[in-house]
Structure 1
């Protein structure tokens, strides 16, 4: 593919002249750490069929991993976190209006979660892995939060919450923590009535309230003991990502966090949170392009489900719902690889957003048709 002839038209980037490929952003950290392995971490949503923006981020992760392997001579692994803790059902207290939520894991169970992961991502990831030669792993949040290293980080964060709360929630200092009710799996969305009763390096106790079953105490142990009263750790987005990134930093590899560029503002707060720990080293990050709707807002599953967003006129239905793709999974993977290769051809093309109409134009200009090789 001659990318120069069909490349996007992008404004000059502030990194022009300093960065030739977006993967070079991790080179300083790799040199400083001396690691010979790189682990890239990215997310997988299971709350419905992925849209094009999700597929672009995940395809970017595979291509960035392959380039890091070939350019830096390191072993690479892609680790995807499946967010089975995403909200599946919502209720409100009729008296107070407090919002309660039950996650996909608690509403559907483990077997159904694995089925959803296979349905939405199994074939797509296998195809990307086969083409790029990059191995990948998928771990659910349920599995991750049960491990001792995650629980240890959660417990330490509680001991530092006086500082963390004004970083993770600078407007009000309230960091949501919402351990689900052990009897039904429902939890307060914002954890309004969650209270930390005790917190230490070995264990913690949190009091919470269920709409149906009243008050309960959630107990978290550092060793991740599977006791009958062992709590499922529920926390807000920023707090949860802080814990996940600190766990990733424990690995004997350079941990690289891959997120859509819409996460950039949130990562400013995460980096500030890291600095609340002594001798903290900020994580290496790579941001991928966002795909935009007709309004200029990024594609959003929640807005798509609510019927409040649409693809730009002239683009394709499968851009909002990958399940509407008319070809094979392998063809979808090849198309995404060709598209993201265009975006990665220069950092200025990678450091921007693309409307669905512009994506359609690039696909047409590059000849990335169904069945055509990328």
Structure 2
């Protein structure tokens, strides 16, 4: 796609989705209103929306729908409540780039995108997959944004302090973050080669208090090594998905001048039940407000995902265009792509019952084409 400045398009008529009555009918007239109680209670005039960015391959339409919805939600929060808003996207450069296993034990080791490619090439991936689109969406909505990698997030003192605080409550947290097993592993890349034990089987917590934690870990090539985590050290911290999100969200809540609003796809709702319970393990803590965006589904009803696409089990309809599976296959300009997503996202956000649901790729194609139901 060609990155050029987006000119706000004239809205074209779109067909209306046929959506069931929402359980929030009459209580919520716009999905942005989910934030109203917390915004009023906080007395704050600034809101920072937090959303995610995957860099382990080109995004599909479901990912871009979530990100477009984030810009539209931010604009709605600004316009409805008069709040100052911005968006912070977290780029997951900790995603596995390569893996190997121990020949004798089968223990799996991984190296992340950050440890294989380095910061400059990770930045290039972010710009390639999202830079032009995010700039176009920002121009159209007037909402500023920034992108921060997980590597940068975990290096901040507030993140590291929240991680240390979570260790002090782990006897309780572990049955919330992993209710089936009670095991919440932590991993640390080998300081010499960057390989890390995926499930942290041999990572041992030696000591921990409010200011410092010491661990022992094992590298397939270099054997045992020791790591120390304090708010000021540069030790790279690898956490499970729920543990990582808990620490990130608690770190975001440390900003006394802004209310954090967590934006995730609706498939995250079960996990966020556990995250909210994890927040309540901290004395006096309150989970952040959340808004869940529509997900894009295959014909089978399964969420469109890179795993299903890679496995060839996505069960896609004939109406599924190549660009829906790989945004870089869009044949037009980036402003045309942004206009398409903004029109689709605005339609979804027009009523809560249209926002609180999923859409198959077949339905997405129909709505974009403007065909009647």
TM bucket (normalised to shorter chain) is over 0.9
1:281 and 2:286 aligned: yes
Segments of 5+ residues of structure 2 without an aligned counterpart are: 1-10
Structure 2 CA distance, aligned partners of 1:355 and 1:218?
46
Kept after mapping to 2: 8 A contact 1:81/1:138: yes
Over the residues paired in the alignment, what is the CA RMSD in angstroms?
A: 1.3
1:73 and 2:77 aligned: no
1:146 and 2:155 aligned: yes
Runs of 4 or more off by more than 3 Å in structure 1?
none
2:103 to 80, 94, 102: 94
2:69 to 56, 60, 78: 60
The match for 2:30 is: 21
1:245 and 2:254 aligned: no
Task: Give per-residue Cα distances to partners, 1:54-93, cap 9 Å, x unaligned.
Answer: 0000000000000100110010010000100011111111
Structure 1 CA distance, aligned partners of 2:123 and 2:63?
19
1:135 and 2:140 aligned: no
1:341 and 2:350 aligned: no
The Cα of 1:311 is off from its aligned counterpart by 3.0
Structure 1 CA distance, aligned partners of 2:368 and 2:156?
43
Structure 2 CA distance, aligned partners of 1:23 and 1:2?
23
Structure 1 CA distance, aligned partners of 2:179 and 2:336?
45
Structure 1 CA distance, aligned partners of 2:210 and 2:264?
30
Segments of 5+ residues of structure 1 without an aligned counterpart are: 368-374
- The structure, 1 or 2, with the larger RCO (C-alpha pairs under 8 Å, 6+ apart) is 2
The match for 2:331 is: 326
Select between 301-310 and 213-222 the one with higher mean Cα deviation: 301-310
1:352 to 351, 357, 360: 357
2:171 to 162, 165, 168: 162
Select between 308-317 and 293-302 the one with higher mean Cα deviation: 308-317
Kept after mapping to 2: 8 A contact 1:296/1:355: yes
Kept after mapping to 2: 8 A contact 1:44/1:82: yes
1:49 and 2:58 aligned: yes
The match for 1:304 is: 309
Matches within 5 A, 1:86-125: 86-125=95-134
**TM-score calculated relative to the size of structure 2:** 0.95
Select between 293-302 and 306-315 the one with higher mean Cα deviation: 306-315
1:234 to 223, 235, 238: 238
Structure 1 CA distance, aligned partners of 2:145 and 2:316?
30
The match for 1:371 is: none
Kept after mapping to 2: 8 A contact 1:310/1:320: no
The match for 1:372 is: none
